[in-house]
Amino acid sequence: MDTVEGLFDVSDEHKRDLLEALQVLSALQGDSPSLDELLVAARINCISKIEVYFLQDPSQLRQPLNLRNEAAAVSLLLGHYGSRRSRSSGDPAQAALLAALAEYSRKLWPELASGDVAVSSGSGSGSGSGLDGSSSSGQPEQQAAQLPRGQAAPPGSPGADFEAWAREQGVAAAISLASFGSLRGCAASRDVAPGEPLLSIPADVLIYEDSVKGTDLGRMLHAIPDLTIDNLLVLFTMIDRHDEDSRWARYWHSLPDKYYTGISFPQPLVDSLAGTAAHLELARAQQHLQDQYAATRPLFDMLLTAYPQFLKPEWFDYDCYLWAAELWYSYAFEVEFPAETPKGAAAAAAGPKSGASAASRGKGTKGKGSGSKAKRSGSKASSLAAGTAVAGVSGSSSSGGGSSSSKPVMVPFACHINHSPWPHCVRYGRLNPKTRTLDYPAFRPCQAGQQVFISYGPVPNLKLLCYYGFVVPHNPHDLVPLQLEPPEGPLKQQQLAAMEALGLGLEHSLQDGPLSKQLLACLRLIVATSAELQLVVKHKVDPLAGAIAPENEDQALRTLEAALVELLAPLELLPLLLEEDLPAEAGAVEGAEARQADVSAAGGSSGGGNDGETAPAQEQAEGALEQLHLQGAAAAASGSMSQEAAAGQHQEGGSMEAKPQQQQQQQQQDQCNENGFDADWHMSRRFCKIYLQGQHHILQRSLQECRRLLRP
């Protein structure tokens, strides 16, 4: 069997400790590791920092830790062994392992429940039984057949024209743009099996620092002194989107005219989140962007003065700057590039059609900068990376060795794929050094017409709301940030020193689950006496392993209890959280909650369809966000519909209420743009409420957990 050397990252000390604790490191160094051992190693390799933070015991990794981690682990193994299929055709053990892995991937996701669910049984080995030992033969295909199919972009539309352009550029796609109600996404254009690519995009199609510098406009902008990469990309986008001769013109045309991320929320909507982490983050992000624009305004004026025949003042107003910034925040990916990039690759990115931009075509001169430099405020919004999607790439066998660099990249086509915690693709963040393509392999099957999802990573609703404009109901990766601070006094410096020695910080998080060991350890140190701190310093007790002393433990938990009560009190008074949903919205939420309850009661699936078959829980959850968009569109349209009814503007043959359902749904969808948002912010307001509900739920769950530990 082929060696697995280089497949897993054993240079990370913490990951290596986990491998040794679970006794799989020696198995990896042998000739024939089992599928179970490979899955454990892959879970460790793909574990994120926040997943390590909440890990209670290494033994949890013998089973699927959560949906995202398992997806990344399976995808890593499929990519490694699938690429060796041809070379191992004569190796029966290798072929058997690959077959077992493919079977595990096929059966895994229909068996997992919605949310952050750990599976309690083994990985299976292609025996024909499900994860719980029951037969699941044929169910995935039958269940997938019940999912709604997307409607392709109509001929002549910007979406259809973009797809034609992508094919001309050499993009290999097993997906196509499609509408799912009022929400645009991507649908599989054919049946896709685990390990097959959903997308394969040549490097010269990507929009990033190097390819931008390969254009005349990019070279001119790059020559401006002190222009940051962030501003280079935003400024290039603001100008290039208006250049009909740009190589990416047909891509720009496929994008929405407006984004509805948290960065552009109106002030009343921001204020509706008062007292929450989202309110603080949105206030910082919006102020930062306004400061960036003000600092860059002299540069815009300089360009307009230098190129009045090519540039228009309306291209540089704040709304245009906001559009470009939101595009990069919400659509960009963080991509890892091989250390050695062939010379001329950046120039090749310009392509035969890029020519010069409207700003510099035929001029041959380089613009002079004003000397202004956009200042970073220090908030999370100070970099394009604040919103970029980051896929797990560590340990990928495609790295080719050597160091690499990670850059924010606009990826035409991939940017149209929607996010889900239950994705079809999770590992897409590294450029293939051999083919010079960015590949998006599926790790689970997807039938033709079914919506395809990718994962942006374990992203909490706070980040989704602020930088993408939406949230995920029942998001398994949702968090509540918690900032600790030792009280002022003679022991504060000793407490901080003890935390530093244990690798602990003061910034913590709460989840819909057990309290973090790091959080409890910090609380124990914050309330520790001088004598208790000495025990920790002398390594006689370990606050990460358990209580320092009974009195200390009681005080630590009561401190946390008081903090949680203090956080819950103002949250429960927010009008947005208290207000009742509109009927259409309530139906969506109740439906999602009912499905969630069914999933929990059924241990992973709820009834669906007329034939008695059970629908996979994560596929139902995938539809929850889509249904929220539809119901939000109904809420957005309800005001205008009521006005029409009051004015007697009924269609022939009946009132507004008597309209055929299809016609009414079309009117509702017309209120929304292709991303499912409406100009009156009804959908955004709904997402804000879901965010608040999630924060409230996590705080309540943490309070219950705290009190359970206080009174066992």
Domain harbouring 234, CATH code: 3.90.1410.10
Asked if residue 563 lies in contact with residue 520, where contact means CB atoms within 8 angstroms, the answer is: no
Alpha-carbon Rg for the chain, nearest whole angstrom, is 27
Residue 388 has what pLDDT? 57
The pTM (predicted TM-score) of the whole model is 0.78
pLDDT band per the 50, 70, 90 thresholds, residue 513: very high
Residue 646 lies in a domain: no
Whole-angstrom distance between the N-terminal and C-terminal Cα of the chain?
Answer: 50
Q: Are residues 544 and 671 in the same domain?
A: no
**Is beta strand 332-338 parallel, antiparallel or unpaired with respect to 389-390?**
parallel
Nearest-angstrom CA–CA distance, 350 and 503: 47
Domain-located, residue 145: no
Is 222 in the same domain as 350?
A: yes
**Residues 243 and 218: beta-carbon distance below 8 Å:** no
Could you list the residue range(s) of the whole structural domain that residue 249 is in?
158-361+377-415+433-467
For residue 77 the two structure tokens come to: 């193994």
Q: How many domains does the chain have?
A: 4
Amino acid at 549: A
Residue 83's pLDDT band, with cuts at 50, 70 and 90, is low
Residue 472, domain member (yes or no):
no
**Nearest C-alpha neighbor of 115 from the set 167, 68, 155:** 68
Of the three residues 521, 538, 571, the one that is the final residue of a domain is: 571
- 166 and 40 in a single domain? The answer is no
The answer on 197 and 286 residing in a single domain is: yes
Which tokens in the block code for residue 617?
A: 């829980």
Q: Are 553 and 584 in a shared domain?
A: no
Question: CA triplet 680, 685, 688: central angle to 5 degrees?
Answer: 155
Residue 698 resides in a domain: yes
- Pairing state of beta strands 172-173 and 453-454? unpaired
Task: Choose the final residue of a domain: 571, 594, 613.
Answer: 571
Looking at the fold, whether 186 and 299 belong to one and the same domain comes out as yes
Look at residue 342 and tell me if it is in a domain. Answer: yes
| Domain identity same for 581 and 526 | no
Q: What is the dihedral of CA 227, 229, 230, 236, to 10 degrees?
A: 80
Span 99-125, average pLDDT: 51
**Predicted confidence (pLDDT) at residue 658 exceeds the cutoff of 60:** no
Which residues, including other chains, have CB under 8 Å from residue 568's CB and lie 6 or more apart?
696, 699, 700, 703
In a domain, 368, yes or no: no
Q: Which of residues 94 and 263 earns the better pLDDT score?
A: 263
24 or 88, which is more confident? Answer: 24
pLDDT at 244 over 50: yes
Asked if residue 631 and residue 560 are part of one domain, the reply reads: no
Which residue, 57, 54, 117, 31, is CA-closest to 596? Answer: 117
pLDDT above 50 (res 318): yes
617 versus 175: the higher-pLDDT residue is 175
Considering the domain architecture, whether residues 31 and 102 belong to the same structural domain is answered as yes
Residues 208 and 350 in one domain: yes
498 and 582 fall within a common domain: no
Question: Residue 176 phi/psi, 5° resolution?
Answer: -145, 155
Residue 473 lies in a domain: no
State yes or no: pLDDT of 32 exceeds 50. Answer: yes
Return d(Cα 440, Cα 198) in angstroms, integer: 5
Q: How far apart are CA 574 and CA 91, in angstroms?
A: 63
Q: Are residues 383 and 485 both part of a single domain?
A: no
Token digits of residue 596: 């969630």
Whether 456 is in a domain gets the answer yes
